Amino acid sequence: MSSNEQFPLSHKTVIVLDRGGDLAVSCQQPIDVDQITKTRTLIPLAPIAKSLWTCAVESAVEYCRIVWDIYPLGRLVRFVIGDGDDSRFLNLWQEQSASQLMTAFAKIPPPSANSRNKLDIVRAVEMALGTLCEPSEAQHMRRTDLDRTDREVANKGRVIVITQLQGESEILKLEKRLATTLNIVNKVASQDDKQLPLDEVEMVLIHASPGSKEISIPSTRRLHNSPLLAIETHKVTSGYFLSEKLCQLVQTHYELAITTVTGIPMKEEQNANSSANYDVELLHPQAAHADFLKDKDGKHDTNNPSKVTLKWCTPRTAPTQELQHCTAAHRITPVDINSRPSSCLTNFLLTGRAVMLELPRKSGQKLLSHMLASHGGEIYIHTLGTGRSALEDPPSISEGSGGRVTDYRITDFGLFMKEHLLVPYNTDSRNSHVHGTKVILNLVSMESKGTALALSSVAAVAGGLGSGRFAKGGLRKEEHYRALWTELEQLLRLYCSTTEHEQVLDCLLDCRRGEASQSGTPVLGATGQSAASAANPGTIGESSKNGGATAGIKSESKPLGFVGDPSTVPSSPSEDQRPKKLRVAPDLLGKTSLLGLLKDNQRRKPATSTWFGFNPETRKAILYQNLKEKQLQQQQQAVKEEQQVQQIQQQQQIATSAGAQQQQQVQQQQVQQQIQQQVQ
């Protein structure tokens, strides 16, 4: 994750609250108070209204509650309380809890209406910018992580100021002064190793006024838009409208969306026998409605993905929630947490129930798009996959256009996978070519002693050689080995790309060349022209005209390397014309399995006299013959490493001693020069 993605603009937010005398007045929105008894002689109570300060505190706390419910980690909020020229912090970056915040607010007395203290917005914003320069715990860990190559940390933040502005002229002055203040704060932070300069800041100025007071300020306006600073102003009537405004801002700042769950059946408080349907609004990240944004087929009938209405379905039991095909899960929080429908829905989900949500569609079909369930005391909204699931059975081919075949041949594919199972081979061994040479020499020894090959491998070779007398009457023992040597040479030539492969191929050619010289039979891969090529020079010319395709791969009527009539043996490329890198032909090793031959050969129990390390006197064979050699090699390697370490240490000691001697000589020369100057 990049630094900008890990630390976005919403990573740190500072809320500045004005505690001056202007916010001590009433918001002019009376509170409804229920009366227990109503009689004619009862004198009605005087209307009660909250102050602007109370409305600002409640709205700011509600802002923090929404943020911390959905993002318990990674989204930090601090408060600055401004009282005239005196401003102070209410919490720290480590204190991110609603209970701590309410305890701190309880210790602050309300502002006095007689106070004429006016908030110095520039001073309060300067404090807010200074605290934004302080790195959070996550930023400090990334900054000091020595294992990371990219330790640059993006530092962004947002400042929200709730106050009363005087007019348009004050806003224009603030725009210039705030830009200058930000530059000064960045200069101070760049000179301090414990702080981070700000890369981007968003300033939100909210003018809260009573209902009867009007001021010439636009309702929403973006003043300064630069890569470093952006300023927005909002005018709102205090009271319920201020809380609603901050709820809209928290959706914009943290990319949240609202899901309205409709048709929730709840019992009436007065009459328990009857029930009514209620609606509850839930806040969650917009990613829960990502399918609505990607929908281009009109499957989801919704125009505004930031506010979606879903219908309540019959609740399911707890175990079924784990069997749903969910593509994402996000935390939720109610918009109005104190309302009775929100409380009932929350308590219902915390008991372990799961609720399916249906997306209303114009066609009338039922589409379950989301699910509400709790995990570990936290409520999540789960996005359900509306398409086919990977856990379902594959659809029939007949469902496609123009297809009648309904069989996927899964059984055949399983058999195909078993027959072509690939196992990774350890290529770290440097002596693998020695092992290959030993296998070739062992095969030569078996051929000289007349040991027969495994029947299963012979049948596979016979099947790969095609029709003819090999397939009908079977193969003789000599022909078994000829087919084996032919396929082995083909395999080595195709993969002869390193010096180790060339050594194994040279060993094979030398062994076959020695047998050919004894028997006088031409062998595939021998240098120079064979007797057959000398007798029929036209064969070589024809094969060279055809690009040598039949010479290096396969004859039309007989297998490559078949020793029979010398005039019918195809010529093969010499060692000088050996191809370095070739692709494997698809039908070259389709049925003839060289690996099967080698495995069957290794499984066969060789004669006792051919065992490595066999002692005929004691009639015992030594196990793990290479163990001592490997241990000796490891000891030698360890000794070499110790010698290298000692050499490096000696070189360092010599370098340090030489440097010390040079320093002493320089000091002596300086002392002599000083003495000479004093004498002069």
CATH number at residue 72: 3.40.50.410
Tell me if 460 sits within 8 A of 596, measured CB to CB. yes
User: Which is higher by pLDDT, 422 or 157?
Assistant: 157
Task: Report strand pairing: 378-384 vs 307-312.
Answer: unpaired
Cβ-Cβ contacts under 8 Å for 209 (sequence gap 6 or more): 52, 164, 215, 235, 237, 238
Beta bridge pairs of residue 285? 256
Q: Is residue 169 part of a domain?
A: yes
Helix ranges, 335-454 (H): 340-350, 410-419, 432-449
- Mention every residue, 6+ apart, whose C-beta is less than 8 A from residue 532: 522, 539, 566, 567, 569, 571
Tokens of 101: 């915040």
Segment 82-135, tens digit of pLDDT: 876 677 899 999 889 899 999 999 988 888 777 666 777 888 888 999 999 999
Of 223, 254, 285, the residue at which a domain comes to its end is 254
Calculate the CA 608 to chain-centre distance. Answer: 57
pLDDT of 622-659, one tens digit each?
Answer: 666 677 788 888 888 888 888 887 888 788 788 778 87
Choose one of 239, 254, 269: the last residue of a domain. Answer: 254
Residues 662-671 have a mean pLDDT of 82
Residues in Cβ contact with 113 at an 8 Å cutoff, skipping those fewer than 6 apart: 21, 24, 25
d(CA 674, CA 680): 10
Residue type, 366: K
pLDDT at position 399, please? 53
Q: What angle do CA 272, 274, 276 make, to 5 degrees?
A: 115
Residue tagged 């082995």 (tokens): 488
> Using 50, 70 and 90 to split pLDDT, how confident is the model at 478?
confident
pLDDT at 153: 86
Q: Output b/e per residue, 331-353; b: 16+ Cβ within 10 A.
A: bbbbbeeeeebbeebbebbeeee
342 is a domain residue = yes
Provide the token pair at 584: 């494997």
Q: Which residue has the tokens 């328990």?
A: 272
In a domain? residue 325 = yes
If asked whether residues 559 and 501 sit together in one domain, one would say yes
Residue 662 lies in a domain: no
489 token code pair = 């040479």
User: Can you tell me the mean pLDDT for 390-412?
Assistant: 63
Beta strands in 376-427 (DSSP E): 378-384
- Regarding whether 226 and 264 lie in a shared domain, the answer is no
Instruction: Among 511-520, 536-545, 547-556, 594-603, name the most confident range.
Output: 511-520
Task: Round to whole Å and give the CA distance between 416 and 104.
Answer: 71
Residue 295, domain extent? 258-384
Contact status, residue 189 vs residue 195, Cβ threshold 8 Å: yes
CA-CA distance, 182 to 148, in Å (whole number)? 30
Residue 628 belongs to some domain of the structure = no
Tokens standing for 555? Answer: 């004859």
Domain presence at residue 567:
yes
377 in the same domain as 327: yes
The model's confidence at residue 528, banded by pLDDT at 50, 70 and 90, is very low
Amino acid code (one letter) for 296: K
pLDDT at 583: 41
Residue ending a domain, choose from 581, 605, 629: 605
pLDDT at 28: 82
**Do 561 and 439 reside in the same domain of the chain?**
yes
Which range is most confident: 42-51, 484-493, 515-524, 670-679?
A: 484-493
Question: Same domain for 439 and 308?
Answer: no
Give percent of the chain above pLDDT 90. 17
Regarding whether 497 and 578 lie in a shared domain, the answer is yes
Q: Cβ(326)–Cβ(288) under 8 Å?
A: no
Q: Which is more confident, 600 or 535?
A: 600
pLDDT score for 451:
84
Q: How confident is the model over 63-77, as pLDDT tens digits?
A: 999 999 999 988 999
* Across 506-520, 536-550, 600-614, least confident range: 536-550
User: Do 235 and 287 reside in the same domain of the chain?
Assistant: no
**Structural tokens at position 527:** 């240098």
DSSP state of 556: S
Per-residue model confidence (pLDDT) at position 39? 63
| Residue corresponding to tokens 């010398």 | 566
Asked if residue 168 and residue 208 are part of one domain, the reply reads yes
In this structure, are 463 and 380 located in the same domain?
no
Residues 462 and 493 in one domain: yes
Which tokens in the block code for residue 139? 């930023």
Euclidean distance between CA atoms 507 and 353, whole angstroms: 73
- φ and ψ at residue 236, rounded to 5 degrees: -145, 145
Cα 362 versus chain centre, distance? 38
Burial tier of 650 (Cβ tally within 10 Å: 0-12, 13-18, 19+): exposed
Position 579 pLDDT exceeds 70: no
Pick 464 or 279 by higher pLDDT.
Answer: 279
Domain identity same for 586 and 516: yes
Q: Rounding to the nearest 10 degrees, give the CA dihedral for residues 89, 90, 95, 101.
A: -160
Total domains, the chain: 3
pLDDT digits (tens, 9 = 90+) for 236-285: 887 788 999 999 999 999 999 999 999 888 877 666 666 788 899 999 99
90 within a domain of the structure (yes/no): yes
Is residue 631 assigned to a domain?
no
Sign of CA dihedral 357, 363, 365, 368: negative
Shared domain check, 470 and 577: yes
Q: Are 155 and 58 in contact (CB under 8 A)?
A: no
Q: What angle do helix axes 455-465 and 594-603 make, rounded to 10 degrees? A: 160
pTM of the predicted structure, to 2 decimals: 0.58
Q: Are 268 and 276 in contact (CB under 8 A)?
A: yes
